[in-house]
């Protein structure tokens, strides 16, 4: 493989230290999916038994593919747009496809961060109680809150010693008010009751319309929050890997501190055992024989480690040639798995607490994706002592996890343009501003009042089949077309030849890695396709 082409090593910035690169990659790989996708997958696929296929797939799919991308970027000293074309010009489009996919994901990823910023602002301004209250202007007649019912009981007890009362349609009613009670029952029979947390998210944050074609204009608070998110992203990317490396000491470590705090608080809650029983303590080992479980585990590993997006490859291209990226791949894989497993424990302990508070089955409170992050979890935390504190820590963690992943996603396209078009290299700062500004404008469609529908389309289709296709094409190109012997020669020029039997088997060019690249990883990815 041509290692430098028209790009010489001295023209590219490099990481200031090994740890800056490792922490930046951890920040990029460990994202929102570790907290809101992994727990629900474990719940759906045998609880604690899901950890077995997940951990196995981490080391037979995730780690080797991560090592492949890191080695490829480090050896070529170039990003996605250049490296694949050097191997075979016919495959030049793989790199640009990865860049485009990362670009599309970054559009809706920052919209999520915009929502998180709105929640953080609500907490900072002392209004976190809004998502447990049905008394707000945006609440509907279908809003039902056990907190409001309790307040009504206290209110009536003070006034008339009548301890039987209920809340309906923004006011308290005596249990003797048969007419209103029947109206409430009839209303909720026609349409299920809606929690105040759900109405806060849909009616206040999103200002959601009923249909995709009902744009309803721009939601100004989401648009403003999106502008802030892209401004923060741009300020870091303007300075490139030097700034990303420095800020990674904060963005890659603080989420782990917060998740440990939430974990300790979660497992000490009354009812935490209910959630943990479903999540880990009562595993269904029969799912291990189900191919669907293995498919879910392998897919989650690819998503979680950001394999196939081109971000890891781009970040690795700023490493010195002799850097030990194989060691880094191990560290990143372990850090990612820790956040998934530990974070899932923290999430389910809180959901168990909530199920006991509501006297409901755990199945009724378990949600995934945005439902978990913006509805179920905030409602659960609102029932704890010092709810504002736990809510602030949770959303701060979400924001840091998201913004650190966003740096890597947007950097893929910046590096691609930087490598492909030498004339723009002196203007990297303006290039970053242009990319971030353009993506902000594209994201405005998700700031309309029907924006959640566009968000779901982007979220469901932008990086599903296309991501797996990129991974399998990458393996075919490197291992079978360029050739494993040639690639191993490239790696040995960086890492040297193994000197011990352990290195020959498990080293960066060992039989373990070779076997997985040639057989196990392609087979596993093919199974996912089916």
Best CA proximity match to 70, nearest among 339, 415, 319: 319
Question: Are the beta carbons of 312 and 28 closer than 8 angstroms?
Answer: yes
Q: Is 404 annotated as a binding residue?
A: no
* Phi, psi (degrees; rounded to nearest 5) at 462: -75, -30
CA dihedral 8, 12, 18, 22 (to 10 degrees): -120
Place of tokens 């959630």: 275
Q: Is 347 annotated as a binding residue?
A: no
Q: Is 515 annotated as a binding residue?
A: no
Q: Is 401 annotated as a binding residue?
A: yes
Dihedral over Cα of 509, 515, 519, 521: its sign: negative
Tell me the Ramachandran region of residue 169: left when phi exceeds 0, alpha when psi lies from -120 to 50, beta otherwise.
left
Cα dist. 333→54, 57, 306, 514 in Å?
Answer: 12, 11, 11, 18
Best CA proximity match to 529, nearest among 458, 452, 456, 471: 471
Q: What is the DSSP letter of 464?
A: S
Best CA proximity match to 275, nearest among 349, 361, 365: 349
Question: Are the beta carbons of 51 and 294 closer than 8 angstroms?
Answer: no
Q: Is 174 annotated as a binding residue?
A: no
Q: Is 167 helix (H, G, I), strand (E, B) or coil?
A: strand
Q: Is 310 helix (H, G, I), strand (E, B) or coil?
A: coil
Question: Are the beta carbons of 199 and 163 closer than 8 angstroms?
Answer: no
Q: Which residues have a Cβ under 8 Å from the Cβ of 438 and sit 6 or more positions away?
A: none
Q: Is 488 annotated as a binding residue?
A: no
* Phi, psi (degrees; rounded to nearest 5) at 171: -155, 160
* Phi, psi (degrees; rounded to nearest 5) at 416: -60, -45
Best CA proximity match to 105, nearest among 386, 311, 325, 316: 311
* Distance from the first to the final alpha carbon of the chain: 33
**C-alpha to C-alpha distance for 85 and 91, rounded to whole angstroms:** 6
Q: Is 29 annotated as a binding residue?
A: yes
**C-alpha to C-alpha distance for 204 and 367, rounded to whole angstroms:** 20
**C-alpha to C-alpha distance for 285 and 290, rounded to whole angstroms:** 10
Burial tier of 438 (Cβ tally within 10 Å: 0-12, 13-18, 19+): middle
Annotated binding-site members: 27, 29-30, 34, 304, 401, 405
Annotated binding-site members for Na(+): 27, 29-30, 34, 304, 401, 405
């Amino acid at each position: 493989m041509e290692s430098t082409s028209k790009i010489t090593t001295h023209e590219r910035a490099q990481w200031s230290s090994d740890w800056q690169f490792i922490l930046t990659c951890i920040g990029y790989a460990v994202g929102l999916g570790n907290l809101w996708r992994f727990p629900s997958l474990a719940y759906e696929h045998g609880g604690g038994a899901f950890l077995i296929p997940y951990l196995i797939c981490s080391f037979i799919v995730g780690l080797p593919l991560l090592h492949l991308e890191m080695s490829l970027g480090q050896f070529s000293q170039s990003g996605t747009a250049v490296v694949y074309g050097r191997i075979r010009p016919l495959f030049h489009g793989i790199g640009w496809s990865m860049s485009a996919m990362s670009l599309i994901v970054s559009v809706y990823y920052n919209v999520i961060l915009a929502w998180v910023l709105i929640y953080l602002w609500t907490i900072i301004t002392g209004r976190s109680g809004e998502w447990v209250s049905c008394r707000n202007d945006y609440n509907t007649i279908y809003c039902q809150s056990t907190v409001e019912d309790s307040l009504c009981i206290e209110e009536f007890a003070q006034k008339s010693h009548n301890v039987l009362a209920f809340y309906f349609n923004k006011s308290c009613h005596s249990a003797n008010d048969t007419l209103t009670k029947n109206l409430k029952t009839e209303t909720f029979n026609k349409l299920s009751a809606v929690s105040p947390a759900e109405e806060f998210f849909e009616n206040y944050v999103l200002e959601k319309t009923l249909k995709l074609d009902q744009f309803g204009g721009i939601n100004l608070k989401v648009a403003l929050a999106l502008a802030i998110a892209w401004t923060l992203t741009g300020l870091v990317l303007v300075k490139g890997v030097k700034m990303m490396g420095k800020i990674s000491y904060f963005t890659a470590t603080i989420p782990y501190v917060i998740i440990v705090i939430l974990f300790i608080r979660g497992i000490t809650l009354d009812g935490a055992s209910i959630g943990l029983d479903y999540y880990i303590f009562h595993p269904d080992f029969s799912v291990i024989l189900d191919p669907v479980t293995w498919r879910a585990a392998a897919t989650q590993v690819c998503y979680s480690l950001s394999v196939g997006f081109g971000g890891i490859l781009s970040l690795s291209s700023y490493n010195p040639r002799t850097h030990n990226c194989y060691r880094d791949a191990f560290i990143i894989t372990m850090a990612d798995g820790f956040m998934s497993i530990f974070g899932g424990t923290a999430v389910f302990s809180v959901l168990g607490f909530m199920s006991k508070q509501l006297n409901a089955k755990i199945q009724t409170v378990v949600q995934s994706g945005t439902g978990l992050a913006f509805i179920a979890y905030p409602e659960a935390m609102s029932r704890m002592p010092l709810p504002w504190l736990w809510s602030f820590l949770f959303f701060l963690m979400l924001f840091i996890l998201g913004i650190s992943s966003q740096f890597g996603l947007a950097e893929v396209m910046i590096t691609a343009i930087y490598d492909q078009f030498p004339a723009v290299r002196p203007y990297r700062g303006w290039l970053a501003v242009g990319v971030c500004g353009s993506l902000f404008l594209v994201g405005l469609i998700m700031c309309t009042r029907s924006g959640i529908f566009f968000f779901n389309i982007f979220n469901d289709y932008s990086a599903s089949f296309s991501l797996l296709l990129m991974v399998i094409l990458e393996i075919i190109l490197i291992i079978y077309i360029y050739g494993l012997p040639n690639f191993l020669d490239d790696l040995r020029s960086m890492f040297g030849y193994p000197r011990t039997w352990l290195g020959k088997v498990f080293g960066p060019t060992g039989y373990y890695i070779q076997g997985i690249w040639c057989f196990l990883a392609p087979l596993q990815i093919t199974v996912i396709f089916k």
